[in-house]
A and B are shown apart, each in its own frame.
Chain A
Amino acid sequence: EADIYQTPRYLVIGTGKKITLECSQTMGHDKMYWYQQDPGMELHLIHYSYGVNSTEKGDLSSESTVSRIRTEHFPLTLESARPSHTSQYLCASSQRQGSGTDTQYFGPGTRLTVL
């Protein structure tokens, strides 16, 4: 099972602040993902990466950006946070195992509150 870490676990900030949510994994997985999760709702994919220097937008439009400079690190940045960004953000990683969808392993999440 993957070891995947997210920091901070909880963050409360004011509107207009720039924030970066950190995600790191120690398993050498090629693929990494960011999901947004609101209470009572399914997880929505907002960004993913196939490897270093690869980033793609997910199914849910997001004002956040991501980068993948190192295999193990996939930070998510909000340039100017707004109350509508209040949510839980989950990072995941996976390793190509075959022709179908890989098993994704999740971090503990960051709960973001924007006042």
Chain B
Amino acid sequence: AQSVTQPDIHITVSEGASLELRCNYSYGATPYLFWYVQSPGQGLQLLLKYFSGDTLVQGIKGFEAEFKRSQSSFNLRKPSVHWSDAAEYFCAVGGNTDKLIFGTGTRLQVFP
């Protein structure tokens, strides 16, 4: 079955600390992977995406993600978190269809 798992429902970090949000997927074909961010009361904004090529992908706002096929993972990272990064983060997978499968999201809280 096709699915996305975000194991961490809620993460709290201090401002300036590093961040890693986990994403594992199950997909029967070559995966297309996405990370979106959603601020309260807003829609989803694309942070980055991976289709092929270099497995380390750079995105907006200083985020990056690494595709590891052997681990079926696409974890999101940021070396130094800012208070404005507090939001909900969604990982999604697509591939050989037009449909995206989303995880349940990880809520990031940032303390000063």
Q: Is B63 among interface residues, defined by CB-CB distance under 8 A?
A: no
Which residues 27-60 of A sit at the B interface, judged by CB distance below 8 A? 31, 40-43, 45, 48, 50, 58-59
Q: Is B83 among interface residues, defined by CB-CB distance under 8 A?
A: no
A106 and B105 contact, CB distance less than 8 A: no
Report the nearest B residue to A9, measured CB to CB. Answer: B41
Kindly state the separation between the CA atoms of A107 and B98 in the bound complex, as whole angstroms.
Answer: 18
Q: Is B89 among interface residues, defined by CB-CB distance under 8 A?
A: no
Report the nearest A residue to B36, measured CB to CB. Answer: A106
Q: Is B104 among interface residues, defined by CB-CB distance under 8 A?
A: yes
For the complex formed, measure the closest distance between the CB of A112 and the CB atoms of chain B, giving whole angstroms: 13
Over the window 71-115 of chain A, the binary record of Cβ atoms lying under 8 Å from chain B Cβ atoms (1 yes, 0 no) is 000000000000000000010101000111111111111010000
What is the total number of residues of chain B having a CB less than 8 Å from a CB of chain A? 27
User: A40-B104, A42-B105 are known contacts. Are A101 and B95 too (CB-CB below 8 A)?
Assistant: yes
User: A100-B94, A101-B32, A101-B94 are known contacts. Are A109 and B42 too (CB-CB below 8 A)?
Assistant: yes
Kindly state the separation between the CA atoms of A50 and B103 in the bound complex, as whole angstroms.
Answer: 24
A31 and B98 contact, CB distance less than 8 A: yes
Q: Is B56 among interface residues, defined by CB-CB distance under 8 A?
A: no
Over the window 100-111 of chain B, the binary record of Cβ atoms lying under 8 Å from chain A Cβ atoms (1 yes, 0 no) is 111111000000
Q: Which residues of A contact B44 (CB under 8 A)?
A: 43, 90, 92, 106
Q: Which residues of B contact A102 (CB under 8 A)?
A: 98
Which residues 1-19 of B sit at the A interface, judged by CB distance below 8 A? 4, 9
Write the residues of chain B forming the contact surface with A, with a CB cutoff of 8 angstroms.
4, 9, 30, 32, 34, 36, 41-46, 49, 51, 90, 94-105
Write the residues of chain A forming the contact surface with B, with a CB cutoff of 8 angstroms.
1, 4, 6, 9, 31, 40-43, 45, 48, 50, 58-59, 90, 92, 94, 98-109, 111
Name 27 A/B residue pairs within 8 A (Cβ), A-sorted: A1-B46, A4-B43, A9-B41, A31-B98, A40-B105, A42-B90, A42-B104, A42-B105, A43-B90, A48-B98, A50-B98, A58-B99, A90-B43, A92-B44, A99-B96, A100-B94, A101-B32, A101-B94, A101-B100, A103-B34, A103-B46, A103-B49, A104-B100, A105-B46, A108-B41, A108-B43, A109-B42
